[in-house]
Every structure is written in structure tokens, then in C-alpha cells.
Structure 1
């Protein structure tokens, strides 16, 4: 039994005896636009001059961790800074037993684990990590980061290509569960390690 459709929603398939295709349905629209056009002035010489005037070294001791009390972030390079065109670099510190927000985004991310032990939950699947490992978050993956130690913190250096996605107008992200505003049991009173001692692969 065929479904009745308006004349404007019927293709030439109707004359061939095939089931009509409704053009007004999203998945039947062949003119969908997935990426908006890049528009506006862009002068390579001006951009190179601007980039070469930016700092080449950022001092970690001058940057403070934000958020908490379970997950803290120190942002070295953000899209809004304009220091690079393709990197977003930040340090994550998870308090004892701490966890991040549960979220998803288009851009990929690589977490180089500097110290501690923990795990990821990616689309419902658990992946364990420890210092020296690299955890990869794939595009559009709903994920969350966990410190598995109830007594010691963990930290990871995070590298993203978020600025490129912003430039291409392809970025979206969504939050499933926000960061907790309460410390995890055992993590009460924890303060992130602002000073840059050598935490790499600490036992």
C-alpha cells in the first residue's frame, strides 16, 4: 500500500512505478549542507606576522588550575588565545577518586597520562590507564575520565585539534553529566598541584 503524498513531495520515481520519495524528509534531501562556507578576509602575510608576534613559551607557574573540586584544568593554549591555528593544549588534574564531566564532542583528543592510575568510559566501555599511557578519545564519543586511586591525584596532558574544527565551523559538543561540585570521598580538601615539579611517571 502506497502512502499518499503531495505533488510537490513526489519525484519522477512515481512515473516509473517505484515508491515515491518525499523530498521534504531530511534524509531524502540531497541538497543538505554539512559544512558552512568559510568566508571573510584572510591574508597569509598578515596572519604569519601576527603568529610570529605571539609568545613562543608559556610559563606553567603563571597559569592556574580552574574548576574542581574533582577535576581541574590548566589551559596552556586555547582557541581564543590565537597562539596557534590547530592546537588546544591543557593539563588535567583529577583529585583523589575524582572524575570529569560526562560529555561528547566532534574533535578528537589525546590524553598523555603523566601520573596516577585511572580509567575512561567511552560509549559505555571501560578502558584502564596508568602513567606513561596515552588515552585516545574518538570523534563523537560520549566519554568520562576517572581517577581510580582514592588517595592520590592523577594528571594528564591533553592535546586537541579543536581550533581547526572551530575554523571549519564543524565544532559542537554536549554535556551529559556536569562536573560535580562536591569532592569525591577521600578527596576532601585536595588542592591541585600548581607548581611544576617533576610528576612525570611518578610511582
Structure 2
């Protein structure tokens, strides 16, 4: 099974999306380089999808087509799916709609991962990565826990904590926001800056 490295951009977007809508479930897609380095898949970006009606098929299909085109034009591939459950204690990955989307991604990218935000670790004082990451095991035909880490882990956790305290998560745009106003940029280019540069904006 593959191992996964999440860079600061991908991790920041996931956490910001979950923190912006703490009372709702959210989901999104994970992007990686088309050619993984050995057995390590480097997750280098995250695209926030929805915070309302997470699994409405027509909207999900529109989003997937646009994101797939965006990824392809940037030399990337949709390499995973993330979700933050609404229920504080619910960190299961066997919820049918979410699992179906993750399974579909895995059909197109065999080393895909399924990341679940761990609500119990979501706080303004980020001491550990608030994620549980799963990879697909062909032997058992199911998702099972996989090894993962954050790029520059301590600096990333410290930077995300500081930005959360400053309310930076309010500015993240998901596909729901984009559907409400097409001028909103669901790629969140401003979050592609280093965390140090982001801190200067807030």
C-alpha cells in the first residue's frame, strides 16, 4: 500500500474548509502529481467541493469535470477524496455516498487515498494533523488505514493554528460558493502561497 505526504497547501485548504463550516459536513478532492515518486503519493493541493447537499449527482458531476480539466492542465491528477463529518464522533469512511465517490476516484487512480477530518483533533491549537488517511487495499478490496505525514509538519501545524486564530478560514471558497457566484475562485489561488506569506495577509 502507498504512503501519503500532504503538503502545507493541501492540508491548509482541508482544515480551512472544515473550520469554515463547523456545523456542517464538507467534502473535497485531493490532487497529486501524475507520476508518484516511488510508493509515496504527494498530495499537493485540495479543492473544496460542497458544504450543502454533498452528494447531489448533477452538481458533483459538473464539479468533477471542471476539476479534472483543471488538474490535467496543471500536470496533476485527482488522487483522493476528503470529507469532514457533521457529527463530532463520526469518523467512519463507510458512509455510502462518500465511499462511492472515493471508489470512483480509485478506479481512475489506483493509489488514491480517502482522508477524513478527525473532528476530535480540530482546534485552534493544532498539535497533531487532524486527519485519518486510508488507502485502498486490492487484497481485501477495501479502504484501510495508511501511513501519512505533513510536509514540514511542525511549521505547517503552527502556521495553520495561527491563521485559524485570525479567522483566515472565512475566505476559503468551495464549489458551492462558486455555484452561488461564478466569480468566486474555487481553486483558492491565494492559499497556494506559503503559510509565512499568508500570515502577512492576516
Report the TM-score, using the length of structure 1 for normalisation.
Answer: 0.23
The answer to which structure has the higher strand fraction is: 1
The answer to which structure has the higher helix fraction is: 2
| Greater Rg over alpha carbons, structure | 1
Report the TM-score, using the length of structure 2 for normalisation.
Answer: 0.23
